[in-house]
Amino acid sequence: MKIIILAAGRGSRMGERTKNLPKCMCKLLGKPLLVRCLETLEKANIKKEDIGIVTGYMKDKITIDGVTYFHNEDWPTTNMFISLTKAHSWLENDMCIVCYSDIVFTPDCITKLATCNEDMALTYYTEYWNLWSKRMDNPLDDLESFHLSEDKKYLKEIGKTVVNRDEIEGQYMGIIKFTPKSWGWVQSVISKPLSKSIEKLDMTTLLDAIISEGHNIFAIPICNFWLECDTDNDIRLYEHIYKEKIKEL
C-alpha cells in the first residue's frame, strides 16, 4: 500500500503565511502541517518508503527525507486532480490512500481505509457542524452536499450547493482510498465530458462523477478529532480553542 500526499498548492487564503512557504509547511502550534501528517502516518504504521508527496509551489521548501517526490509544474493553473495524476505510476499499480496535506487527522482514518475490502472508499467527519460553526458565521455558505445510501454505507452525492443542513450527512475529509481498479474508473470518467475542465477539476466533482457512472464509493464515518486548515483565521482559531487536543495527537 502507498500513501500519496497532495502538497502542491500555495494556499493563498493563508495570507502572509504562504508568502515564502507552501501551504503544507504552515505551522500549527509550531509544527508544519505536513510534519503533523507524516507523524500521524507513522502512528498508522506507514513507512516513509511507501509515502509519495506531490509538490508544486515552492517545492524546495519541502525537504522530507526518505519519501518519493512527484511534481506538478503546472500548479498555478491546475487543480488538485492534476496533482493527483502525477502519481499515476503508483495509482495504476498499487492500492493507494490519497491524503490532503492541510488537514489534521487521527491514525484510525488510515487503518480503517486500509483494511476495508472496497475498491474505493473515503472517510467522512460526523462532527462537521460543530467545527464549521466555530469557523464561520453561516456554515451553509461553505459546506457542500454529502448524501449517503439508505444503509449509510455508500456515498450517493457530494459537492453540490446546499440550502439547509438536512442535505449534509457528513464532511468529506480529504482522505480517499483507490485500488488500480477504481483508478481505472477515474480514467473512464475523465475521458467523457464533465462539468469542469480537467485542469480545474476538483476532487468532489470527480467523486460525484464516479458515482454518476454507477460505481460504489464506500463511506467510513469518523467522529474523532479532525481539522481542515484553509485560512489564516483557521490556524489562529485552532491554536486558541483546540490547543490541548492538538498536543495530544
In terms of Cα–Cα distance, which of 119, 102, 97 is closest to 52?
Answer: 97
Q: How many CB atoms lie within 10 A of CB 241?
A: 11
Confidence of residue 77 (pLDDT cuts 50, 70, 90): very high
pLDDT above 90: residue 167: yes
> What is the rounded average pLDDT for all residues in the chain?
97
Kindly list the structural domains of the chain, giving each domain's residue range(s) and its CATH number in brackets, ordered by start: 2-248 (3.90.550.10)
Query: For the chain, what is the total number of helices (H) and then of strands (E)?
Result: 9, 13
What pLDDT, on a 0 to 100 scale, did the predictor assign at position 178?
Answer: 99
pLDDT above 90: residue 85: yes
Radius of gyration for the chain, computed over Cα atoms and rounded to the nearest angstrom? 17
pLDDT above 90: residue 249: no
Q: Compute the distance between CA of residue 33 and CA of residue 25 in angstroms, rounded to an integer.
A: 6
Mean pLDDT, rounded, for 12-34: 97
CA distances from 39 to 106, 110, 119, 195, 224 (A): 10, 12, 26, 37, 17
